[in-house]
Amino acid sequence: MNYFTSMSYGISHVFLMLFMYLFVLHRYSHAVTALLCGISFVFLCVMDCFKLIFFPGSDICYVIVTIVQIIVTQSTAFLIARKRNVQVLFVGLSASSYVIAGSISSVIIQIWTHSDIWALAGGVSIHLAILLLLSLKIRGICLKFQEKKYLEGCWGLCLIPVFFYCSFSFIAFFPHTLHDNPDNIVGIIFFLITMFVSYIVELRDFDSDSKKTAMRWKNMVLESYVKGLENQFYLVERAEKNLKILHHDVRHFYKMMGSLLEQNKYDEMRKVLGHINDVAKENKVKRYCTNLVVNAILTNMMDRAREYGVKVRLDVAVSKEIPVSDYEFTLVIANMLENALECVQNHEEESRWIEAKIHCHSDYLLLQTKNEYREEIQLDPGTGLPNSKKKGDHGLGMQSALAFSEKIGGSIVCCTDDGIFELMIFAKF
């Protein structure tokens, strides 16, 4: 029996490493990743020999070896993962739960058929079916969550595979096996079905929520873009009207200038010229950069700053064509400026200021904002970015900035010094 169990466990370890290989974003090349998974597989099989063959009757050995195997399994996920975060832990724990389902299926087949060959063959088939099903249903979601870090609060989600794994282990393997309690088979089959349904539904819900959040932010950018275009249209329309009036009055100014010139009233002439110059300046449409989308967003944000009485010292240098997505770039700009405006809008007049640098060319990108702050800012120890104290969608702007920085291969830095908050994103292309 222990040799059958050992072989069944060995098959499970093969599929466990396949899950790790397929469901985790790789830090290393495919060959190196496969080698590391292979080493972990050998180690797990050696540990099985200790608890099933060398010391088959020792409960202490079984528990200690199982704990070591769990540590090695989860360490393998972190070792091969490109981003070592809580999302990887969730995938590693979930892989263990998926695989134990195949092991239990193998035991059930062995109990029903009394054939080790049929049990092992059936176990392989079920392992393979589970792998294919989950690869089709949730592999893309798992990889995307690791890439974009959508699973905020994933520590709570990690409890799901932990409790499933513990429940299966205590019901089917230790301290009593399904051979000892075959009446548990029907119940555990429905428990297995519940696990897979809950995983697929839960992860699809998270995927749907992340898409809704991304769409909401995109709509906010588009709304800001439209408002910026409306403001520009209004300014152009007003300028055209005023300049038409000025053009209509030019002949009067010409006669007036001629009369003043004949009378040698040069100071009066300067006043008339100054008035014409002031009208021209007032009706000049502000253009921050040659990029239409960025210019529209900045127009809207600067209008909001004037409404709040916030002085913005703006340094903009953005090419017409940039090497990143216009909308993702402007989304981050809007988030950074909006956060700064919300931070300073209730300050005293002399403290309502923001410094912003927005540079983007073919070779580099730089986004930087500075402003004073009053309330205490708590920085996340993992990301180094501020944690939002508000509920709802607050804090998603920082997540968006972090995701954008990682996508373009840049770095994001946040610091607080002597009452000044500074946020900077830099990338060299």
Report phi then psi at 12, rounded to 5. Answer: -65, -40
What letter would DSSP give residue 54?
I
Least confident piece of the model among 19-28, 156-165, 209-218: 209-218
Burial zone of 342 (CB within 10 Å; 0-12 exposed, 13-18 middle, 19+ buried): middle
Calculate the alpha carbon distances from 268 to 255, 263, 275, 360 in Å: 13, 10, 11, 47
Q: What is the reported pTM?
A: 0.57
Both structure tokens of 294: 């960025």
Calculate the alpha carbon distances from 86 to 122, 158, 201, 213, 424 in Å: 34, 8, 20, 20, 25
Q: How far apart are CA 235 and CA 285, in angstroms?
A: 6
What is the chain's Cα-based Rg? 33
- The mean pLDDT of 303-332, rounded to a whole number, is 89
Domain positions in the chain = 2-210, 287-429
Q: How far apart are CA 403 and CA 385, in angstroms?
A: 12
Does 107 score more than 80 pLDDT? Answer: yes
Does 61 score more than 50 pLDDT? Answer: yes
Q: How far apart are CA 357 and CA 367, in angstroms?
A: 6
Both structure tokens of 183: 């009446």
- The mean pLDDT of 305-316, rounded to a whole number, is 92
Confidence category of residue 4, pLDDT binned at 50, 70, 90: confident
- The mean pLDDT of 160-179, rounded to a whole number, is 81
According to CATH, the superfamily of the domain at 287-429 is Histidine kinase-like ATPase, C-terminal domain (3.30.565.10)
Looking at residue 393, its pLDDT comes to: 45
Rounded to 5°, angle at Cα 309 from 315 and 242: 80
Q: How far apart are CA 139 and CA 91, in angstroms?
A: 10
Looking at residue 237, its pLDDT comes to: 63
Looking at residue 394, its pLDDT comes to: 43
Would strands 353-360 and 311-318 be described as parallel, antiparallel, or unpaired? parallel
- The mean pLDDT of 71-93, rounded to a whole number, is 88
Higher pLDDT pick, 151 / 137: 137
Does 321 score more than 80 pLDDT? Answer: yes
- The mean pLDDT of 229-249, rounded to a whole number, is 60
- The mean pLDDT of 36-46, rounded to a whole number, is 93
| Whole-number percent of the chain with pLDDT over 90 | 24
Confidence category of residue 382, pLDDT binned at 50, 70, 90: low
For the CA atoms of 276, 300, 385, 347, the dihedral, rounded to the nearest 10 degrees, stands at 60
End-to-end CA distance of the chain: 60
Average pLDDT, whole number, for the chain?
81
